Structure 1
Amino acid sequence: MKKILLPLFCFILINCKKGETQAVNSSLVDVVQEDKAIALDAAKSASPIPPSSVAETASKNESNSTDTTIISKKIIKNGNMRIQVGDIRKAQNQINSIIKNNQAYIQKEEFQNTDTDDNLDITIRVPHKNFDALVNSFSEGVGSVLSKNISSDDVTEEYTDVSIKLANKKIYLEKYRDMLKSAKTTKDMLEIQENIRELEDEIDVSEGRLRFIDDRVNYSTLNLSLYKEKVRSSTTSKIGFGSRFGDSVTEGWNSFIAFFLGIISFWPFFLLIPVFIFIWRKWRNRKKKFNENNE
């Protein structure tokens, strides 16, 4: 019995030692791997980030931003209207009331008074949601619509493209700023600073473009022209016979001045006429004497 128990005890003791050895070895491997990871992290933090890693990171972020960026429809609405009215001032008061009711504002106003008509040109900016209501109000109660042109421009694709590129440029900018902190030489610092400056300029341009598109999308533009024709009649217009007579006298005098100035412009030819007359007379006298001598 003792002979059987002794070998069994030795076998169990050997297996226990092997288990302990394997556990020690596995723990040593874990420690070595951990040390390697810490060393790699330290090396990465101590050395500057190469541009290739910046490009790879930016390209990954670009694909992620492309997948996650969701932009609503961006529609720019513009319009042109020309309306004939009977009274410019009355129509202008109606327009101001309609503009106020639709939360719009006048961006530009220009008035022209000629002998034949009065023209009032107004550039109106109106919230996108109120654009159709504003146009319908002008079409119904202001006057006779001579022309109307409404257009819609979908800029969603452009807006999305600029937004994605802007996000990627900001990622590049942050990476270059990190590189600048760990730059070792003056040459590297100057190159990184130049890249940062170019990126900042491009970001400003992109942000300005997005602001411009947002403004045009949020506020539509309507160019409105009011037109009143002046009828030249003494019974229907303030322009009577006396005014027309004065205009005729003025036009006649202007025509005479134009004719007189046109004649004066031929003065070189007038100087040559006496020379031609002198030569012609001299030639005629010679011919006359020659004929008399032959007779």
Structure 2
Amino acid sequence: MRTLLLPLFFITLINCSKSGGEKYSADAAVSEIITEDKALPPPSSISEKLADNKASPNSEMKTDTISRKIIKNGDMRIQVGEIKKAQAQANEILKKNNAYIQKEEFQNSDLDENLNLTIRVPHKNFDALVNSFSDGIGSVLSKNISSDDVTEEYTDISIKLANKKLYLEKYRDMLKGAATTKDMLEIQEKIRGLEDEIDVAEGRLRFIDDRVNYSTLNLNLYKEKVRSSATSKIGFGSRFIDSVTEGWNSFVSFMLGLISLWPFFLLIPVLVFLWRKWKSRRKK
């Protein structure tokens, strides 16, 4: 009987030790997971790169898919015969190229008339618009066209924006498991800062997209009231009428200037009277 009980006792003892060891290892694993979860620190700065992001091929694919971003701008100054007629021609050109006027400013002086237009046109129609203005309205006095490649800036902002959004999601997950009020306030402050930076970055990307998709042309339509034959394509009749008008305006200005001196004309008789009186006394 003793010989049967001893093996049974040893077998029972071995099973208990195994189950206890398994239980201990399971508890240790859970404890380790909890410890690791609690010890996970928040990102120390916004510019910190995530290890998963560096090794991820998706980020490289995103940068590769970004097309080139070219911003085109132009300035043109055109001398015309009549501002109203030139403006009507410009409106027809704008309609053909799906462009629109963003800003309009008119100035009229004694020497010239100026109509300044800020025009926004789809990127693909920019060259056609410039050529139409060069050929069909008047004499081009100056033209300046520039292209600015902002692909690098756009790509850099896009990558940083993607990383900030990852950080934001990580902070939000950490906020759910925050244990103390102090931790909650610190994480909420980080979240607010990230949200502000994300809004700024998205606004900058929208601005770049707008400037890329729609080019800007600053157009000045210029009419010289006193024209020289070297710079004008207008006929003799128009120049003769302008000269007559300018001469009449000069005469009117002269007469108005004389009229403005009427107080001095009133002093002349007084001065003459006093001079004669003084002369007569001197003779006596």
Output the amino acid matched with 2:245: I
Distance 2:89 2:110 in 1: 25
1:98 is aligned to 2:101 = no
Change (3 A) 1:99 1:184: same
Residue from 60, 66, 78 that aligns with 1:67: 60
Which residues of structure 2 form unaligned runs of 5+?
1-18, 228-237, 265-284
Paired with 1:215 and 1:33, the residues of 2 have a C-alpha distance of 63
Cα displacement (A) at 1:164: 0.4
- The 5 A counterparts of 1:1-295 are 35=26, 39=30, 43=34, 47=38, 49-51=40-42, 58-62=50-54, 64=56, 66-68=59-61, 69-70=63-64, 71-231=66-226, 235-237=240-242, 239-251=245-257
Q: What TM-score results when the alignment is normalised by the length of structure 1?
A: 0.69
Partner Cα distance (1:101, 1:34) in 2: 78
In 1, the alpha carbon distance for the partners of 2:51 and 2:143 equals 47
Higher CA-based Rg: 1
Question: Deviation at 1:63?
Answer: 5.4
- d(CA) in 1 for partners of 2:35 and 2:164? 23
Q: Which residue does 2:233 correspond to in 1? A: none
Once residues 53 and 231 of structure 1 are traced to their aligned partners in structure 2, the CA distance between those partners, rounded to angstroms, is 69
Cα gap change, 1:217/1:163 in structure 2, threshold over 3 Å: closer, same or farther? same
CA RMSD in angstroms comes to 3.2
Residue in structure 1 matched with residue 3 of structure 2 by the alignment: none
**Residues 32 and 110 of structure 1: is their aligned pair in 2 closer, same or farther, counting only changes over 3 Å?**
same
Give the alignment's TM-score, normalised by structure 2. 0.71
Using the TM superposition, give the Cα deviation of residue 35 of structure 1 relative to its aligned residue in structure 2, in angstroms: 4.2
Q: Closer, same or farther in 2 for the Cα pair 1:154/1:46, shift >3 Å? A: closer
Taking the aligned partners of 2:29 and 2:45, their CA distance within structure 1 comes to 22
1:59 Cα shift?
Answer: 4.2
Number of residues of Structure 1 aligned to a counterpart in Structure 2: 230
Comparing 137-146 with 59-68, which one deviates more in the overlay? 59-68
Could you tell me the percent identity over the aligned residues? Answer: 64
Task: Identify if the C-alpha distance between structure 1 residues 108 and 52 changes in structure 2 by more than 3 Å, giving closer, same or farther.
Answer: closer
Structure 1 residue runs of 5 or longer lacking an equivalent are 1-27, 261-295
